């Protein structure tokens, strides 16, 4: 975990965090937050399953910010800490995770580690529990989670200390919502 910012804030007087750093390129920042908000706003895949994948990515990348943030929509769908605690290596034997959640976790591992993890039974389980549209959305989400975690870590934008925090689920920007 890196808590020493390696990038400056574009907002005078505001410390470096993802939003303030991305404001060096406002158009790009707007597009990124539109995409991230649109992903979370979509109901193709439940927020709970998205959050399960995000938590696995956070554990793998060791992103301190990502590990400590929970989005309220997933919490409202019943994703509690007792379930999050089982999103570790060995999740396959968890009695708290559903079969769909385990399939999502295996897909997450395949995208992050090795595509060959998604063959045979793992691929069949994913296709049993998720539609092609859901798999596509999940793949995009995992890609966003990995990129975001790596950016936070590499730019030194993780907080020194952070308690578990429930935040509002990202939503499309006002411009995106109006379209």
Residue-by-residue DSSP string for 71-136: EHHHHHTT--HHHHTT-STTGGG-SSS-HHHHHHHHHHHHHHT-GGGSSHHHHHHHHHHS-HHHHH
Q: State the pLDDT confidence band at 3, using cuts at 50, 70 and 90.
A: confident
Q: Using one digit for the tens of pLDDT, what is the confidence trace for 12-59?
A: 999 999 999 999 999 999 999 999 999 999 999 999 999 999 999 999
CATH architecture, domain 18-178: Up-down Bundle (1.20)
With a cut of 90, say whether residue 169 has pLDDT above it: yes
- Average pLDDT for 148-166: 92
With a cut of 50, say whether residue 178 has pLDDT above it: no
Please give the Cα distance from 171 to 94 (Å, whole number): 31
Q: Using one digit for the tens of pLDDT, what is the confidence trace for 39-48?
A: 999 999 999 9
- Among positive and negative, which fits the CA dihedral 41, 47, 89, 130? negative
Q: Using one digit for the tens of pLDDT, what is the confidence trace for 63-108?
A: 999 999 999 999 999 999 999 999 999 999 999 999 999 999 999 9
Task: Please state, as a whole number, how many other Cβ atoms lie within 10 Å of the Cβ of residue 38.
Answer: 16
- Average pLDDT for 106-113: 97
Residue boundaries of the structural domains of the chain: 18-178
Q: How many CA atoms lie within 13 A of 151 on its CB side?
A: 13
pLDDT for the residue 175: 52
Please give the Cα distance from 72 to 142 (Å, whole number): 19
């Amino acid at each position: 975990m890196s808590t020493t910012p390696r990038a400056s804030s574009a907002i005078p007087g505001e410390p470096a965090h993802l939003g303030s750093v991305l404001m060096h390129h406002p158009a790009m920042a707007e597009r990124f937050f539109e995409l991230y908000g649109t992903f979370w706003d979509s109901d193709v895949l439940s927020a709970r399953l998205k959050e399960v994948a995000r938590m696995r990515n956070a554990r793998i990348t060791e992103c301190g910010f990502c590990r400590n943030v929970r989005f309220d929509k997933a919490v409202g769908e019943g994703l509690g800490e007792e379930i999050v605690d089982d999103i570790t290596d060995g999740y396959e034997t968890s009695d708290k995770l559903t079969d769909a959640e385990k399939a999502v976790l295996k897909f997450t591992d395949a995208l992050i580690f090795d595509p060959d993890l998604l063959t045979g039974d793992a691929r069949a389980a994913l296709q049993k529990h998720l539609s092609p549209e859901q798999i596509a959305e999940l793949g995009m989400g995992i890609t966003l989670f990995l990129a975001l975690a790596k950016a936070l870590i590499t730019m030194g934008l993780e907080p020194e200390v952070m308690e578990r925090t429930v935040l509002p689920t990202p939503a499309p920007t006002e411009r995106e919502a109006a379209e």
